[in-house]
Chains A and B, each alone.
Chain A
Amino acid sequence: MTEDVRGLLAEAGGLYRDSPRAAASLHEAFNHLDEPLRVGITGAPGTGKSTLAAALGETRSLRDLTLVDDPSASVLTDATVRLLRHLEPDELASTHPAARSAFARQTAVDTVLVLARADETGAGRIDALLTAKQLARRAWREDPLCSGAQGVIAVAAQLAYGARAFTDDEFELLAAFAAVPREELERYLLSVDAFTDPAFPGPVSVDTRRSLVSRFGLFGVKLALTLIRTGSDSRVKLSTELVRRSGLGELRDTVAGCFAARAEALKARTAVVRLETVLQNEPRPGSDRLEARVERFAATAHDFTELRLIADIRGGRTALSGEPADEAVRLLGAQGTTPEERLGLDFETDPREVYAAGADAVLRWRHEAERQDRPPAERAAAHVVVRSAEGVLALFA
């Protein structure tokens, strides 16, 4: 795919040699094909972009991509994590900028929406994260404004960032607080003011308490205490549990599966969008031939079809659910694009076994795709899965 795009860009470069602006734009796109995938973190001020970028950036599985905190319009990015304060129609509508080109619209598989500051949902009650998660899930399934996204995920970035880098002192402190009878501590956990009140019992200084609450938020402190009381009795356990609940893990998996694993396709897409913009802005003899090739490229790039279908299945926009849905998104490459990952096998599996599993998947899904009693949309989805499974077999040819 990358080679195709390189060819396209080279030819366009020749066509636009005399236009410095277009040539520079194409050149940048060409060079970017060899660079790491760039994911922009965007959102209104106060949504916690930098905190999220920092929390995501320390994740091991995302080493091969560059996170760009609040990129300016001129910076080339391949995908976007967009932070929203609320999932209100006004805010969601602002996430739908007029797509730059037909190709960009057709292959819009580059955005994940994040319900930011999830720990503030529902007046910061202990079930705030759960409520936020439900809100996000509901919005992704029901709100047409969310339909284009690869995911709508509730994330408490501050909590996640704090929890990833727990110090032993902090854990000891929290454990000590957790040991205090609940009723005694309760009124000091009502508000930030109460928590940092000089009247707080015990020897812990106001400054220490203030730093704790500013690192994790009042909600984070309360959640940590609850978790310690219910069994997360070591620093690592508590850290893992907090990160899991913060929604960062889900976001990381989505970014890894939908962006990092598709780096080639997304970078190619960025380049082609650039190319199409140039073709639109400065049409000239010969550019129509390139436009036709761009169209062909969009139509044949199976990655984009896979990503769109993954989003549709996960967002509940298909009839698939339960186990078939899980298998479908796996085959489509949501958990990685190697044959083993697609087939849900271990990496050491005997190739013959892998092949057999692939052939089996092709047969079963082909059957699904040809069932006359299913609506056309469902059969079309099954066809895409078949094509993905056939792609696995093709690697053995």
Chain B
Amino acid sequence: MTASAWLEVLDETLDACRSHGREDLVQRLRRRRDRPPGATRVAVLGFPKQGKGYLVNAVLNAPVCAVGDAATPAVPVEIGYSAEPAATLVGRGNERVPVPVEKLTGELGARPPGSLRRVEVGVPRELLSAGLVLVDTPAIGDPRSPRTAAALDVLADADAVVLVSDATTPLSEAEVALAHHVRTWCPHVVVALTKIDVCASWRAVAERDRALLAGAGIDSPVLPVSATVRMAAAKAGDQDLNSRSGFPPLLTWIAEQAARPPEHTSAVLAALSVRAATAELVETLRARAELAGQDAGVDQTTLLHRAQRKADELRKRNTRWQNLLADEIGDLQSDAEYDLRERTRKIVETIDETFDKGDPVKVWDEFGPWLDKTLAEAVETNYNFTADRAEWIAQAVAAAFGAQYDLHDLRLGESGAELIADVRQPRIEGFKIGQKLFTGLRGSYGGVLMFGLVTSLAGLPLINPVSLGAGAAFAAKTISDEGGMRLQRRQAVAKMTAQRHVDDVFLRFSKECRDAIRSVQRKLRDHFTGLAEELADQLARERETIIAGSAERERRMVKLRREIERLAGLHQRAGELGVLAGRAPRELPA
């Protein structure tokens, strides 16, 4: 396989990571791409207090790392070959400060946190002479801490990883998860089981760890080691003891990593990194697609159903309120007319009674005002009654239309005011019925319609014969005064005039009343028809939005799916390149 082939795939993946805002992945891939050729880097990774420092020191047979209760550095320590022991602090801005190896721990402690990028240590060790670099990392801990980030960052240019876990307890869930993560980024991982010198049950723990790793699909060997025994062996120059420390297999494994042809390693690492990055991207995209799909699945149907239900409801309501309005107006029409007819009939009866017996000349002064007042009362009561009923109808129709519409929307009152302006004043000459009264009446009618008096509706009697009995009193007072033809004629004329006046008022008024009612009907009809149309429009728009939204979502889904397919393609190609490079990376669950 050529370098250009994997470079191409790597660059394409880099772009994809950038376009999805995964700067962390971009950084890692870039470090993979730009990694200097030659050196093989083996990272040592693990949770705190697992014996990482002791392990590195024992591997090198040199006290390079701080151990025990000494504070371990928060930055990676890269240990490579040099003929003389040397240490260099590399700062944030890549400035390099050489320090004596034996003062390294103290120097590290004196630096403010966050000022260093890494530490480079050189030791004259055979193991490192072929270009092997051991990288001791800060302990993995809180996933949000910068130490953990720094440790995991080392993965980006590690060729192999030694995971350190002690034999006091089997791998924890977090350790297995870490192993899994490391394995997706790095093809060669070994688990070093430390402290086997003090743990009597280390064999059982090693078995348990192997089972845990196999269960998680991680093909890493578990190598039990004891740094204490290895140190003692080195001190005594005891080969047998050294083999008991468990270190020889670990050193062989590390040497194997260094022995691999570098270009081969680069290709495999590139392939694996691309696969790890695309797998992570696909996972997030898939989660997003799933979420969007759920949204679409649930909301789409629900929204459309809801819109449909609303339209049906509106249709039903339209029939309901229209029927109600027609029925109620018809009823009101006949009731109002009957009421007025009854009231005027009673008045006419009283007129007849009065002038059957009484002399118009004598009683007129009293009779005139009485008729004015009685008629006015009758008409006003009838108006009130009609207005109240109209108001009530408006309420009922509003309720039938839907609870959300109240009478404030109706503005019924205006219609009444317009209407009464056309009423002509009755002209009954000689009877002096004041126009003042009708003006007042007009005002009250308008007021009634304007503001409504719904509450009085229930107790309102159809006929309210206020002072209708007054006629009898007039009659009694005037009956004896006159007799004969003149009296009869006067009585007939008076009766006629009064009756005609009453009829006149009745006719006029019932006409106005009918008109008023019809006007109310029209107003209500227009008002609610308008509202219904508005609602129907609104529903239609809602439906359109839902349908348009679903199209948009569909479009986005297609885009997401296409992106996932593209990434899966990259993943596939990286796999093929890996196979070409001679080692098939394990299938990743992407």
Contact = CB atoms under 8 A, between A and B. Distances in A.
Contacts of B238: 187
A88 B49 contact: yes
B259 to A, nearest CB: 31
A218 to B, nearest CB: 5
A353 interface: no
Contacts of B227: 123
Interface stretch (A56-64, A99-107, A189-197, A366-374): A189-197
| 7 nearest A-B pairs in the assembled complex, by CB-CB distance | A191-B197, A122-B68, A124-B198, A192-B200, A86-B49, A46-B169, A218-B198
B51 A193 contact: no
16 contacts: A88-B48, A88-B141, A122-B68, A123-B67, A124-B198, A125-B68, A135-B69, A186-B232, A187-B241, A190-B197, A190-B229, A191-B226, A191-B228, A192-B199, A192-B202, A217-B198
Interface in B222-266: 226-229, 232, 236, 238, 241, 244
A305 interface: no
A90 interface: yes
Interface of B (DSSP majority class): loop
A131 interface: yes
Nearest to A186: B232
B563 to A, nearest CB: 37
Nearest to B230: A190
B68 to A, nearest CB: 4
Contacts of A194: 197, 229, 244
B69 A123 contact: no
B99 to A, nearest CB: 25
A120 B197 contact: no
B295 to A, nearest CB: 34
Nearest to B54: A123
A168 B276 CA distance: 62
Nearest to B228: A123
A214 interface: yes
Interface in A181-234: 186-187, 190-194, 196, 210, 213-214, 217-219
Task: Point out which of A123, A125, A219 has the most chain B C-beta atoms below 10 A from its C-beta.
Answer: A123
B142 interface: yes
Contacts of A235: none
A167 interface: no
Interface in B195-213: 195-200, 202
A283 interface: no
A190 to B, nearest CB: 5
B197 A193 contact: yes
Interface string A152-187: 000000000000000000000000000000000011
A45 to B, nearest CB: 8
A47 to B, nearest CB: 10
Contacts of B82: none
B168 interface: yes
Contacts of B196: 191-193
B69 A120 contact: no
Interface string B159-172: 00000000011000
Determine the interface band of chain A, counting residues with CB < 8 A from chain B: 20 to 34
Contacts of B54: 123
Contacts of A196: 200
A187 B226 CA distance: 13
B142 A190 contact: no
Task: Point out which of B49, B51, B202, B236 has the most chain A C-beta atoms below 10 A from its C-beta.
Answer: B49
A67 B228 CA distance: 37
Given A123-B67, A190-B229, 6 more contacts: A123-B51, A124-B198, A131-B68, A187-B241, A191-B196, A218-B198
Interface of A: 46, 85-86, 88-90, 117, 120-125, 131, 134-135, 186-187, 190-194, 196, 210, 213-214, 217-219
Interface residues of B, number: 27
A88 B196 CA distance: 22
Nearest to A219: B198
A37 to B, nearest CB: 32
A330 B197 CA distance: 44
Nearest to B141: A90
Contact of A134 (B69, B199, B226): B69
Given A123-B67, A124-B228, A117 B198 contact: no
Contact of B241 (A134, A190, A213, A218): A190
Nearest to B224: A193
A131 B238 CA distance: 29
Contacts of A186: 232
Given A89-B141, A117-B168, A187-B241, A192 B49 contact: no
Contacts of B199: 192
B246 to A, nearest CB: 10
A135 B49 CA distance: 13
Contacts of B69: 121-122, 131, 134-135
A266 B310 CA distance: 64
A331 B142 CA distance: 42
Nearest to B49: A86
Contacts of B200: 192, 196, 210, 213-214, 218
Contacts of A214: 200
B140 to A, nearest CB: 10
Given A122-B68, A193-B244, A187 B232 contact: yes
A85 B39 CA distance: 38
Contacts of A86: 48-49
Interface string B489-513: 0000000000000000000000000
A330 to B, nearest CB: 31
Interface string B20-52: 000000000000000000000000000011010
Contacts of B198: 120, 123-124, 191-192, 217-219
Interface in B97-146: 141-142
A217 B199 CA distance: 8
B247 to A, nearest CB: 13
A214 B200 CA distance: 7
Task: Point out which of B67, B142, B197, B236 has the most chain A C-beta atoms below 10 A from its C-beta.
Answer: B197
